[in-house]
Chain A
Amino acid sequence: MSDYLLEMHDITKDFNGVKAIDGIHLQVRRGECVGLCGENGAGKSTLMKVLSAVYPYGTWSGQILWEGKELKARNIRETEEAGIVIIHQELMMVPHLTVAENIFLGSEPRNMAGFIDYDLMNAQAEKLMARLKMSDINVALPVYNYSGGKQQLVEIAKALNKNAKLLILDEPTSALTTAETKTLLNLIKEFKANGMACVYISHKLEEVAEIADTVTVIRDGTHIGTQPMAELDTNKIITMMVGREMKNLFPRETHAIGDVVFEAKNISCWDVTNRERKVVDNVSFELRKGEILGVAGLVGAGRTELACKLFGCWNGDHEGKIFLEGQEISVRAPRDAVRLGICMVPEDRKRHGIVPLMGVGYNITMSVLKRYTTGGFIQSEAELAEIQNQIIRMKVKTAEPLLPIASLSGGNQQKAVVAKMLLPEPKVLILDEPTRGIDVGAKYEIYKLIFELAKQGVAVLMISSEMPEVLGISDRVLVMGEGKLRGNYVNEGLTQEKVLAAAIGQPTTEAA
């Protein structure tokens, strides 16, 4: 029998000719924990989807050996039967079913008559919870009674019930408190001691350092290196993760920076469902006229939540003061923000940006429709003329100005959403991941637009998970991590390593 439980060799997966991962290797021994590290979009999730047969055998190239034999799984059920269980970043619980019902979902024990044998099911669930040292959980209660951390453990119980030999954890602690994280890590150590293998994907490198035996780093879909953790430290991992050249993708233009126009003081937000958990923790910052302020951080750092709070659309509890041009303002709904001159291009274009069935043009004018009305009636011709101006200005590629926006490409949809949020002539423009999922050409045009706006004196707050973008565009960079402001740097000689280290919570040098 081979030394390895799992060997993945030369795995390549492309989407319509674009390689998402290219020639990646990953090997896991029995009882070993492998840390898988890489920036957002590096290809970690794609690799795990290949392994768990979300992308079935044949849709990718390379070879997977499982316990020495080639694995040709066609669906998740087959990989689970083999003993590979993946626990996703977002919890996959049915909130109104009980803990036991969730654990046994799809494999419910049945009695002679064919009904669910609840006694047996609950008894087995209790045994599993005891193994996880979670005997205080009542397995007969609906799962929504428990916090995110406890639910994460229920998820693991579900994996144990499937006789997992390899547990894949994808960002398991992004929704957990510090104490819950500790419990989880201790548990994984115990599993290791009992011979279970695990792949641990996390941005939180200190967690990786604590439990991983080996670390594999991937970047832009390629294999950068695999080394024993003993030979590494978190700084070395960071260098491996970001070590890429900055290309001249950014049409940088000089622009004057004026007085403070916007100020956020002591902003805190709490999670909508888990109301004990702070997602934004006492963040304060200033934004000047004509300044481009980048907000860096890893997924789950609380950046989108902060933006929502500033734009008046955070649904959970929140507190803190906002000042515009020296005056305290109250933003209770997005319409207050738009009226006062704060606009936001949301992160999730499909859910929050576009009105899919409506024409591109009508999407663009939605924020300022009143401007084209007299006596309550829309002046269609005046509106259409403005639409055509905007379409030309933003270079939106569309066959007709009133074609449903859903039929356009992502980049063109994004340009229309940006146009919509520029028409109210904002003083402060919040861009949340403005270039996510759009092609290079559209990205370049959005960058150019950002500089043009800064020149005109608009204060821009740009949230981005793409480090080169943050460093290529911003005048100043805020770094957030776990809801806190971890750094506030002027973008002069700022390096990706420094930003990433701050995001992870290990400032290499003094934070300003």
Chain B
Amino acid sequence: MQLPIYLDYASTTPADPRVVKKMQECLSLDGNFGNPASRSHAFGWKAEEATEEARQHVADLVNCDPREIVWTSGATESDNLAIKGAARFYKTKGNHIITSKIEHKAVLDSCRQLEREGFDITYLDPDSNGIISPDLVKESLTDKTILVSLMHINNEIGVVNDIKAIGEITREAGIIFHVDAAQSTGKLPIDLSEIKVDLMSFSAHKTYGPKGIGAMYASRKPRVRLEAQIHGGGHERGMRSGTLATHQIVGMGEAFRIAKVDMDEDNKRIEKLRNKFWGAIKDMEEVYLNGDEISRAPGFLNVSFNYVEGESLIMALKDIAVSSGSACTSASLEPSYVLRALGLKDELAHSSIRFAIGRFTTEEEVEYTIDLVRDSVEKLRTLSPLWDMYKDGVDLDTIEWAEG
């Protein structure tokens, strides 16, 4: 076993070796380096063939028409294009948009920008288990609503929204539904011929593809229209200009092809490791699982170790790569807005660690991590005055703290 151990697969994944090989074939003179937009020679035709094959792989994974896939630089750009593009196109129909408090910043910041442009945004509260209730979406619709944007799998806690049920509501009301599915591909099956989603964002690097490439699904039936956000050359049917990055696109295509083939087996294994992990730490005192236990994607384990600050735990787990909802790991010095929106007290948000298991995680690595987590939490509690107080039976909420 090699140290450090990577348990941050929800942040990014290593490219699968099969993906790397495909990408390498699209760069140099003896490879497929042409510009897919070059119509006048074989280099261009060959490159176009490769990008179209990749487009088919992406479409196959989510069961849509390849003409409904638009290449972007990643899920952040897809979210921007979907939200700002749809809002600006349909602004004469209404100015109300619905999203949630636990979306990715790419969605939240796009919505903030639209607020500055005069749109009204409703930020829905999740249930305490992290799920956005379809009923709440329904109740929040107004005659001015033009767009609902919600994530499929939450990137911090791995909770899964019922996008099928929400899609029924929005489609019936004639409102565009955008889903950020950056975390979903390869983790959950998506069938766009079944669910009524108009726009969906994808990322390659969360699914063992390269960084810097993503895609957006834009439904043809019914047809959703967008205002382009990047202009110049009219690539991707005018929705996203810019020379197609053949090697990146081919990498994403291969990653998504593999995801379709390997998904069931990968997930069975990952789920088993995740359950083993949680099963081995849940008996510890004052340890809480964040997010719904049932409606959850495989691989995610977001846990709060009460009375232990998350960043110090990460430092103690120095051979394990994980992330935390602690303020001390963020540039803003604010604890996770996702965990706070779930109603977690600040101190539990500060004490949270996200373990994210993936395709290359081994059982040995999980066992090593379990032992280290148990040992480190115990050591840090020895250092913690809050742990003393808890053990003494002091209710921390009754203390008047000098600060905050």
Task: Decide whether A and B are members of one complex.
Answer: no
Where the two chains meet, the residues of B that have a C-beta atom closer than 8 Å to any C-beta of A are: none
Where the two chains meet, the residues of A that have a C-beta atom closer than 8 Å to any C-beta of B are: none
